[in-house]
């Protein structure tokens, strides 16, 4: 009789959080399929995860702990036992701590592909007790979270399944064909029912091509577009004053800050025809239900926080909340809330904080210096801005680097100690979706490959070895999951649904601003929250909603963006991607430089250069070039990827990354 499949879920950094059904034969993965327990994804999964067995059994899988036996960066390692590897890690870190203090140790992780059992619990506890520097995890969603928190107290927005009721859908800085594929059929159905689709994106994405209106603006100018629409609505009596009076504060400040943005001026800055901006404003004012799906493409620049705040303010100004399918969707992750601090009992450590976007400068110049780096759940050499400085930092002879990963990433090449990690098919986890409103219990389908170990086992061991474990520490994954769930005060029926089905699909019920309200202290929408205003002022010298000009120069006039590709999840699975990378460029920009499709080029600025081939394509607007995010060094001629050109400047809110503020030029190689 065939064995029943293992029911689990996908924790990769993707909004959709699919339920999975995994067939296993003789402790090996036979096949991975979706199943219908997640109502949004309904059994459909992406090609990447259907073939995730190729990652699990990859030739580049790290199967044993190992210690460097060549020069730094040579990638040459000698296998050792777990005991030996962890003894080296524990003794080196304790020696550094005794000599220079805990802050000389820097943990580095993001954990977008991890749930709470493998990120933010035992690891946090250990690094906290070591007194290690704290990492600000701001590489993604820092500006969006600040804006959603400040305006709405992280209130979950419209459930994606309710989009079928909408008469207007605006997909703003989000590319569902790569980044969240389950929105695509929902949009199709909504349009079959008569919905109009607007896409705001500097690229003509597949969705933009199919849209009723594509606003192909210059990167980083969403703020002026949203403020122009805001001003237009106020000016034309289309702002919903009754809603603003009842449910918001700060509307008059927002209106005053939108005042400079006439259609004309917004058109000049954004590069959009002013008629298109006006058409959009009218369309938005007229439509109900109207919903905005706000993505992450608009946050990754100097204006990112103000831009997201101004977009999230639109449904309040236009009075779009109320009917099903009316309002906005940003992150849905706070559908379920838990209190990890209570579980970890770590509190806010009084140690220095290092912004992960500035890993390179920190490794090269932090004072006091970083002497040890512990990388897990991340591949910073591929994913962090200013790649040349990150590489130079990793190359420091006096830096002790631990890399704990599943595969031999670019970062792993620079390790002193390599530790093999399990994948989500080999360990337990507990995750929540940030697009789908689901909570998922992840269970191992197969035993660990080689000697790989889960993060919770390794951090529990390190707590013991360094003498930092306490008697009442919870380390068992089931007990840890229980403790996290207990802190989440789930309804009893939700809890049993999760235990029985391994997944809980629980959209927050009720209409927005009829049955459920902002999660701010007064349940109102704060259109110009004082804390955001102050943060913006401190970060940029100007208040919230102030547009900062394009950083382009005569020498580096082209905006480089690096959006998600359907082939990878960030840099994960990069070892399976054959490449080579191609930089996409508009025919007009190519022609002006004597460049053709397939020409070998050098994309450069003052931070570095990338050598690869060109794909001439009118899918990017003039003035913009695009190189996929998540590429590895093997995918280009000179081993650099987009991050070699990305600055370490920060967003106006949340101290997030400004990848899309890279300004470059392109020449024949």
Secondary structure element (H or E) that encloses residue 489, with its range: none
Indicate which single residue of 295, 319, 477, 654 sits in contact with ligand MGD (rule: CB under 6 A): 295
Regarding 183 and contact with ligand SF4 (CB under 6 A), the answer is no
- Work out whether 346 is an interface residue with ligand SF4 (CB under 6 A): no
Binding mask 515-554 toward ligand MGD (x if CB under 6 A, else -) reads: ----------------------------------------
Show the site string, 575-614: x = touches ligand MGD by CB under 6 A, - = not.
Answer: ----------------------------------------
Q: Which residue has the tokens 């938005």?
A: 284
- Starting from the edge strand earliest in sequence, which strands make up the sheet with 19-25, in order? 6-9, 19-25, 28-34
Please identify which residue in the block is written with the tokens 């402790």: 27
* 313 in Cβ contact with 229 (< 8 Å): no
Strand partners, 607: none
Output the smallest distance, CB 9 to ligand SF4, in A.
8
Please state the closest distance from residue 183 (CB atom) to ligand SF4, in A: 11
C-beta nearest to ligand MGD: residue: 297
Least distance CB 222 / ligand SF4 (angstroms): 25
Beta strands, E only, 352-416: 353-355, 372-376, 400-405
Token readout for 130 is 């070591």
24, 132, 140, 272: residue in contact with ligand MGD (rule CB under 6 A): 140
User: Cα-flanking dihedrals φ and ψ of residue 212, to 5°?
Assistant: -70, -35
110 binds, options ligand MGD, ligand SF4, Mo ion, none, Cβ within 5 to 8 A by partner type: ligand MGD
Among 140, 229, 558, 666, binds Mo ion (CB under 5 A): 140
45 binding ligand SF4? (CB under 6 A): yes
- Residues in contact with ligand MGD, shown as a per-residue x/- string from 429 to 458 under the rule CB under 6 A: --------------------------x---
Within residues 1-40, the interface with ligand SF4 by CB under 6 A covers 10, 12, 14, 16-18
Q: Which is nearer to ligand MGD, 38 or 179 (CB)?
A: 179
53 touching ligand SF4, by CB under 6 A:
no
Q: Is 171 in the site for ligand SF4 (CB under 6 A)?
A: no
**Choice between 34 and 305, CB closer to ligand SF4:** 34
Separation CA 342–CA 460 (nearest Å): 18
Three-class SS state of 325: coil
Q: Work out which of 7, 13, 33, 516 binds ligand MGD, going by CB under 6 A.
A: 13
When asked if residue 164 is in the footprint of ligand SF4 (CB under 6 A), the reply is: no
User: Two tokens at 309?
Assistant: 């705040």
Tell the smallest beta-carbon distance from residue 175 to ligand SF4 (Å): 13
Q: Report in angstroms how near the CB of residue 515 gets to ligand MGD at its nearest.
A: 28
Check: CB of residue 143 under 8 Å from CB of residue 484: no
Q: Would you say 198 or 251 has its CB closer to ligand MGD? A: 198
The item of ligand MGD, Mo ion, ligand SF4, none sharing an interface with residue 18, based on CB under 5 to 8 Å by kind, is ligand SF4
CA 419, CA 461: separation in Å to the nearest integer? 13
DSSP-based three-state secondary structure for 294: strand
Q: Indicate whether 291 belongs to the interface with ligand MGD (CB under 6 A).
A: no
Dist. CA 586–CA 161, nearest whole Å: 36
Question: Smaller CB distance to Mo ion: residue 230 or 651?
Answer: 651
Verify binding: residue 573, ligand SF4, rule CB under 6 A.
no
CB nearer to ligand SF4: give 32 or 418. Answer: 32
The residues that bridge with 31 in the sheet, in sequence order, are 23
**What gap in Å lies between CA 303 and CA 221, rounded to an integer?**
8
Interaction between residue 445 and ligand SF4 (CB under 6 A): no
Residue 409 makes contact with ligand MGD by CB under 6 A: yes
Query: Where are the extended beta strands (E) located within 353-454?
Result: 353-355, 372-376, 400-405, 417-420, 429-432, 438-442
Rounded Cα distance between 452 and 444, Å, is: 13
In sequence order, the 6+-apart residues with CB closer than 8 A to the CB of 468 are 126, 129, 130
Give the nearest distance from C-beta 345 to ligand SF4 in angstroms.
Answer: 31
Does 460 bind Mo ion (CB under 5 A)? Our answer is no
Rounded to a whole number of angstroms, the distance between the first and last alpha carbons of the chain is 61
Distance between CA atoms of residues 562 and 559, nearest Å: 10
Give the other-Cβ count within 10 Å of 500's Cβ: 9
How far apart are the C-alpha atoms of 126 and 122, rounded to whole Å? Answer: 6
132 DSSP 8-state letter: P
Cβ(463)–Cβ(130) under 8 Å?
no
Q: Are 20 and 34 in contact (CB under 8 A)?
A: yes
CB nearer to ligand SF4: give 332 or 633.
332
**Shortest CB 610 distance to ligand MGD, Å:** 11
CB contact at 8 A, 63 and 418: no
414 scored as a contact of ligand MGD (CB under 6 A): no
Nearer to ligand MGD, 117 or 439 (CB): 117
Beta bridge partners of 400: 372
Distance of alpha carbon 129 from alpha carbon 38, whole angstroms? 38
Sign of torsion over alpha carbons 565, 566, 570, 571: negative
From residue 77, how far is each of 375, 405, 448 by CA, in Å? 17, 14, 21
| Beta carbon nearer to ligand MGD, 153 or 385 | 385
The single residue listed with the structure tokens 């007064």 is 522
Instruction: Select the residue interacting with ligand SF4 from 181, 384, 532, 653 (CB under 6 A).
Output: 181
Task: State the binding partner of 437 from Mo ion, ligand SF4, ligand MGD, none, CB within 5 to 8 A by kind.
Answer: none
Residues that bind ligand MGD (CB under 6 A): 13-14, 110, 112-114, 118, 139-140, 172-175, 178-179, 200-203, 205, 219-220, 222, 295-298, 300-301, 376-380, 382-383, 404-407, 409, 421, 455, 561-566, 568-572, 629-630, 642-643, 646, 659-660
Residues that bind Mo ion (CB under 5 A): 140
Residues that bind ligand SF4 (CB under 6 A): 10, 12, 14, 16-18, 41, 45-46, 48-49, 181, 569
């Amino acid at each position: 009789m065939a064995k029943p499949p293992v029911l689990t879920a996908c924790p990769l950094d993707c909004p959709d959080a699919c339920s999975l059904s995994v067939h296993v034969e003789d402790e090996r993965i036979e096949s991975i399929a979706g199943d219908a327990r997640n109502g949004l994804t309904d059994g459909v999964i992406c090609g990447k995860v259907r073939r995730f067995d190729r990652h699990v059994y990859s030739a580049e899988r790290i199967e044993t702990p190992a210690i460097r036996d060549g020069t730094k960066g040579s990638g040459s390692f000698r296998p050792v036992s777990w005991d030996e590897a962890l003894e080296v890690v524990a003794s080196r870190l304790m020696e550094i701590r005794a000599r220079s203090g805990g802050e000389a140790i820097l943990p580095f992780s993001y954990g977008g592909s991890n749930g709470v059992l493998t990120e933010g619990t035992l690891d946090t506890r250990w690094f906290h007790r070591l007194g290690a520097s704290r990492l600000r995890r701001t590489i993604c969603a820092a500006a969006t979270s600040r804006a959603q928190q400040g305006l709405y107290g992280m209130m979950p927005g419209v459930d994606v399944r309710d989009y079928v009721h909408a008469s207007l859908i605006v997909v703003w800085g989000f590319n569902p064909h790569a980044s969240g594929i389950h929105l695509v059929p929902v949009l199709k159905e909504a349009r079959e029912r008569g919905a109009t689709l607007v896409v705001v994106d500097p690229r003509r994405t597949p969705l933009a091509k199919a849209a009723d209106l594509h606003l192909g603006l210059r990167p980083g100018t969403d703020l002026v577009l949203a403020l122009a629409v805001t001003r237009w609505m106020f000016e034309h009596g289309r702002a919903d004053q009754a809603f603003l009076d009842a449910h918001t504060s700060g509307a008059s400040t927002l209106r005053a800050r939108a005042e400079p943005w006439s259609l004309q001026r917004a058109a000049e800055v954004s590069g959009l025809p002013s008629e298109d901006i006006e058409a959009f404003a009218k369309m938005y004012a007229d439509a109900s239900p109207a919903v905005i799906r706000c993505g992450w493409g608009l946050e990754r620049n100097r204006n990112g926080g103000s831009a997201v705040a101004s977009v999230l303010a639109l449904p309040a100004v236009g009075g779009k909340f109320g009917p099903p399918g009316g309002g906005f969707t940003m992150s849905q992750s706070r559908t379920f809330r838990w209190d990890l601090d209570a579980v970890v009992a770590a509190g806010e450590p009084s140690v220095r904080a290092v912004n992960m976007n500035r890993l390179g400068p920190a490794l090269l110049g932090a004072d006091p210096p970083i002497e040890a780096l512990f990388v897990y759940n991340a591949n910073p050499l591929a994913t962090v801005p200013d790649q040349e400085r990150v590489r130079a930092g990793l190359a420091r002879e006096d830096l002790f680097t631990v890399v704990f990963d599943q595969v031999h990433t670019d970062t792993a090449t620079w390790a002193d100690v390599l530790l093999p990690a399990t994948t989500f098919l080999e360990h337990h986890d507990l995750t929540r979706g940030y697009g789908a409103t689901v909570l998922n219990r992840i269970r191992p389908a197969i035993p660990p490959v080689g000697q790989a170990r889960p993060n919770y086992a390794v951090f529990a061991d390190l707590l013991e070895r360094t003498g930092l474990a306490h008697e009442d520490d919870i380390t068992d994954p089931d007990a840890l999951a229980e403790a996290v769930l207990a802190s989440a005060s789930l309804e009893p029926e939700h809890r049993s649904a999760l235990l029985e089905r391994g997944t809980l699909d629980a959209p927050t019920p009720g209409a927005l601003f009829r049955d459920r309200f902002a999660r701010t202290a007064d349940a109102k929408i704060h259109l110009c929250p004082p804390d955001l205003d102050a943060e913006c002022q401190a970060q940029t010298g100007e208040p919230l909603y102030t547009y900062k000009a394009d950083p382009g120069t005569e020498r580096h006039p082209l905006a480089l963006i690096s959006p998600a590709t359907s082939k990878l999840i960030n840099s994960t699975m990069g070892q399976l991607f054959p490449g080579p990378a191609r930089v996409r460029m508009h025919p007009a920009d190519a022609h002006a430089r004597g460049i053709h499709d397939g020409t070998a080029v050098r994309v450069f600025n003052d931070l570095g250069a990338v050598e690869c081939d060109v794909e001439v394509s009118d899918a990017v607007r003039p003035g913009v070039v695009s190189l996929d995010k998540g590429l590895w060094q093997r995918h280009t001629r000179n081993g650099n990827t987009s991050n070699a050109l990305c600055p370490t400047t920060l967003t106006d809110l949340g101290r997030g990354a400004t990848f899309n503020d890279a300004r470059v030029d392109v020449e024949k190689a």
